[in-house]
Structure 1
């Protein structure tokens, strides 16, 4: 009986750590792509990163940025006259003919479904008057409106350029921004399309194997692929389930097999090993005598193990880290002039410490009945042991 009691106690004590270890075991350990990232498309939390901030050649996933810029700065019903320059663009095309006209919406479909480089040029010329002007405005838009920090595009289609680069993290941010637009959402998830134009009448099929259904993955809601020799294979994929919506970006894989294998691993991990949480607006932080508060609730996404730490810097930037000490999210706090009463569970220090607010706090409270139960169990076991010793 005593042995059974000890085993029961040990199992109860070990269970929480096993849960955390299981989450760590499910994290993909072998990713073939040179760079990869998962972010929550709703709140921007980074769930996984491998060289996520490394400058990479994006190839045709550039067209995600082209599409959202055009959607926000032009009317989809407008008619676009195809220039000679557009019709002679190299690489993948939808075989546009010089002088023909079609709607901007049709061109955007050709851009996203068949990765038409000629469509990209036609869209750029129509939206801003020239490719150069379009690209200049696109870069400003990406920096100021989307908030990317390490992206610069030389063209609207993704053919090689010496100064045409982005990062997996920036591409995930661009895609997450775009997905908030319903017109873009519709473009991103087109599986096939009847295409009718002067130079080509056919059915177009999405080049992204998960969107097309060639590689079944029901949670996938859209995607865009890319390839040029300099970039190798690149892939952007969005997916959602009842709990989360995520974007996975994989860049510079040496084969299609490798990049889809990586993407599936990351989708499995992102959709199943994380849950959403938030820092309440009422939370107050303090560092070296200065108090900070929040303008709004701060949503973030954490591992199901709940292992998230925080660090507050002198400049008022609060950063959240996962259990591998990888940066998940940063936000600017507001300094307050007068130091209010600080609730112990809402205080941050310059050292990393476990957070005790929002859902994380509720998870801690749930442990209290368990602790009381274990204490009573221990006392009962001790009483039984003493009684048996006395009887002997």
Structure 2
């Protein structure tokens, strides 16, 4: 009987909150439909809200492209998640001889893995990337590439395949602006990665010398855009100029990918501005927000206040606000005793047909019962206190 009442109440609340959703059910919301709102030179691009993972803008964002040193984003996050950051890496002949940008590791030079992560993200060292790959991949760059590809598969990204850790042009090495935006947002949620990519200057030891290596971040966005906090530059002749950028304003963090873009700095700033102004974060569920006064059976009070445990929201354009809906699941009543903070239901936020997330609904206070066992428990508690 209780399950039936729960179902009926849940169904009624779902119908109430879903009315705006029904009106727009036939609409298709695709970030690429807004591509004409921003004029950029990039061949492909994608803009993403880091917290929610919503893609806010796209331009041919699923086209497979060379991505140059943006590859090092996944190299860094795989290295960080390996749990080996404090281990010592020895530079092999393979790493020592790798072509392109370099921090000039000496043959046999030893560095901590974490310092090499700084080296690839600040100075784009291909030698450091190869050394990381060999160490984390158990001596094999190929095994590390397998780890990279396993990570993108884990994230559900299907337009990407990696064959090396640095991004030098190679057959079978490609990604998309969309995939790289999702990957970048994922990486930025890791506090170690986020700290590395926003660092402007880093000193690491220089074995055999009396001075340190001083690595200044190549990412000009850190100096040119207010609130910028990452991420990575990239260039090869075939890939063109590539840039992954991120910035935080008023607690919101956005990340943008531009590929083969001769105006990468300006276009990235333009897209970040677009995201911060065109989309606002609608906090549909607020922590400690009162959701219901729920009747209490056999309790010392008739009703208990039910509140949301956490906040939950989603970035939306003004015309999209009606696509947000909430579904509340609560019983008709609860039986005492009830503990403060006890979960009694949940509230789920939807945008269009997409489920955004679920927050627990909890009791704001404790309620004692009035039944025989509750009274006995209170009596014994009082007796022992005396």
Distance 1:163 1:272 in 2: 38
The answer to which structure has the higher helix fraction is 1
Q: In structure 2, do the counterparts of structure 1 residues 218 and 297 end up closer, same or farther at CA, with 3 Å as the change threshold?
A: closer
Deviation at 1:202, TM superposition (A): 3.9
Residue of structure 1 equivalent to 2:236: 228
Which of 247, 260, 269 pairs up with 1:264? 269
Any residues of structure 2 matched to 1:50-65 within 5 Å, and which?
Answer: 50-65=59-74
Which of 153, 161, 169 pairs up with 1:143? 153
Deviation at 1:54, TM superposition (A): 1.0
Distance 1:298 1:59 in 2: 36
Residue 184 (structure 2) pairs with residue 175 (structure 1) = yes
Residue of structure 1 equivalent to 2:360: none
Q: In structure 2, do the counterparts of structure 1 residues 164 and 189 end up closer, same or farther at CA, with 3 Å as the change threshold?
A: same
Greater mean deviation of Cα atoms: 82-91 or 271-280? 271-280
Q: In structure 2, do the counterparts of structure 1 residues 53 and 195 end up closer, same or farther at CA, with 3 Å as the change threshold?
A: same
Any residues of structure 2 matched to 1:59-78 within 5 Å, and which?
Answer: 59-78=68-87
Deviation at 1:116, TM superposition (A): 0.4
Residue 300 (structure 2) pairs with residue 300 (structure 1) = no
Contact 2:41–2:267 under 8 Å retained in 1: yes
Which of 217, 223, 231 pairs up with 1:206? 217
Residue of structure 2 equivalent to 1:252: 260
Q: In structure 2, do the counterparts of structure 1 residues 263 and 28 end up closer, same or farther at CA, with 3 Å as the change threshold?
A: farther
Any residues of structure 2 matched to 1:330-345 within 5 Å, and which?
Answer: 330-331=354-355
CA deviations over 1:147-184 (Å, ceiling 9, x no partner): 21211011000000111111111111111111111111
Residue of structure 2 equivalent to 1:80: 89
Distance 2:354 2:171 in 1: 31
Contact 2:161–2:174 under 8 Å retained in 1: yes
CA deviations over 1:111-156 (Å, ceiling 9, x no partner): 1110000001100110111100010121012211x22121101100
Distance 1:298 1:166 in 2: 31
Alignment partner of 2:173: what SS? Answer: coil
Contact 1:36–1:50 under 8 Å retained in 2: yes
Residue 49 (structure 2) pairs with residue 44 (structure 1) = no
Q: In structure 2, do the counterparts of structure 1 residues 99 and 203 end up closer, same or farther at CA, with 3 Å as the change threshold?
A: same
Alignment partner of 2:47: what SS? Answer: strand
Residue 250 (structure 2) pairs with residue 242 (structure 1) = yes
Alignment partner of 1:43: what SS? Answer: coil
Residue of structure 1 equivalent to 2:108: 99
TM-score, length basis structure 1: 0.65
- The runs of 5 or more residues in structure 1 that have no matched partner are 1-23, 283-295, 311-317, 322-328, 334-392
Residue of structure 1 equivalent to 2:121: 112
Residue of structure 1 equivalent to 2:171: 162
Residue of structure 2 equivalent to 1:131: 141
Deviation at 1:248, TM superposition (A): 0.7
Distance 1:97 1:25 in 2: 49
Contact 1:244–1:275 under 8 Å retained in 2: no
Residue of structure 2 equivalent to 1:371: none
Residue of structure 2 equivalent to 1:4: none
Residue of structure 2 equivalent to 1:347: none
Residue of structure 2 equivalent to 1:370: none
Residue of structure 2 equivalent to 1:369: none
Contact 1:96–1:199 under 8 Å retained in 2: no
Q: In structure 2, do the counterparts of structure 1 residues 250 and 298 end up closer, same or farther at CA, with 3 Å as the change threshold?
A: same
Residue of structure 2 equivalent to 1:352: none
Residue of structure 2 equivalent to 1:350: none
Contact 2:49–2:254 under 8 Å retained in 1: yes
TM-score, length basis structure 2: 0.66
Aligned-residue Cα RMSD (Å) equals 3.0
Distance 1:28 1:75 in 2: 44
